[in-house]
Chains A and B, each alone.
Chain A
Amino acid sequence: MKSDIATHLKELLELEDEEIQEFYDAFIKEFDKSCTELQEDGVDADFQKLRIITHTMFGYCENMGAMDLFALAKELNAAAKAEDVPACQASIQKIFQMHEAYLAEG
């Protein structure tokens, strides 16, 4: 969660505490965008689009050190690859819940 991201960024970029929030906000912005896209494409079960969305998520999650979200994105990517609609929907729900949790942390 937020503390994991802070630890990762301090280690990766040698950032000071006051600099972390700016990066966290950028992460949340990308996460919001991914959720919006998942909302649209998850309903239609467009597997190709889901794979592209998850690939983008891999990138910023790895960069920011959000490894819990990275794991969920990986799960969704595998479900999309298997064209397993129920599994996709389940993964998307988990991602939405995690989104709520991240937003709550501010």
Chain B
Amino acid sequence: MAERGDLSVHDAPDWAVDRPATVLPGIVATRQAPHSLRPLIGFTRDDLLVLGGALLSSTCIGLLLFGRVTPLRGAVGFVIVTFVIFLGVYGLLVSVTERRPAVVNRLMSALMASAALIAGAALTSVILFTLWRGKEALVKTNFYVQDMSAAGPSDPLSSGGIGHAIVGTLIIISIALVLTVPLGIACAVFLNETRHPAARFVRTVVDAMTALPSILAGLFIFATWILILGFQRSALAASFAVSIMMLPITIRSADVVLRLVPGNLREAAAALGASQWRAVWYVVLPTARPGLATAVILGVARGIGETAPVLLTSGYTASLNLNPTKNPTVSLPLAAYEFVRSPQPTLIQRGFATAAVLMVLVLVLFIIARILGGRPAGTLTRRQARRTASRSAKDLARFEAHVAGVR
């Protein structure tokens, strides 16, 4: 900065030599000490040491104080106390070498990181605790194949299982899929491709329906299908209710995916003479296929975990029921809910194991959705690329044969 004051006529062009020189008012250098650039991003060794030291000392102080000075108890209490102390110590240590904005920056970064840490810890804790409490039932084969019709509430884990709930979930979700996938994707196509004046209104209503609490979807089917129309509580009724929950989610994510299909693909199809339905069927939908699959899977992941609608429309049963139109069929989340409502320890274990099975199912679906959705629209897998290339080669051969034939 100090050099600025010395700026004078040294660099002036030749024609300016005779003129009176422009002299900038000199800037008086107030601070002589040259300061190095402040590192803005990344950790230096000092930073790591400060962080580590703060963590260590706050843990020690926390252990020392905890239960003596503070009346908090339990692990959560300890973490809170230690965290508050950590913030103080960390701020203090940073302020030894840094000035205020940098101290605030560090503290805020620590806060943001701990927010992410809380979220991660909660997720890990939920998953691990469920697996841990269900582990004894999870290792038994009969748990996956038998139903609860022969097993009493106090029977050991070696008899009875949730085979009926697994099958029930599959039945309910399959019917719901058959209902929602065509309807949902067709509706998304309607919203995006037809430019119909009603599309805006339909989109608003679908948006509104994502706000529908799941219990109300159940209550609606319970009141109409079961009470007014007089059908039995069944897997079919449950899948109607689940479909009402899945439809808005599927439509909205499919809508977004279709909107991301590049417009020039549609235009290219139209320019090649394709009618609109051909453009949609052969260009738009295949381009968006991975995204649509993700939309459907997200809908399934939501629908599979719904408890309340199934509780109202199908209800609990202890035995396997393969008929979707008659008698209650239990789903995994409902089975877990019913198990843990009993005071029997083995039933509670079964409940956790059921929840764990459900969670693993959702996890698998989720990973599939990630793998499919990770590719942007229009990106081909190696096999698809090969198939497309061979199809193009065949087309080329056909064209050439045609040209040769014309000649």
Partners in one complex: no
Could you tell me which A residues sit within 8 Å of B by CB distance?
none
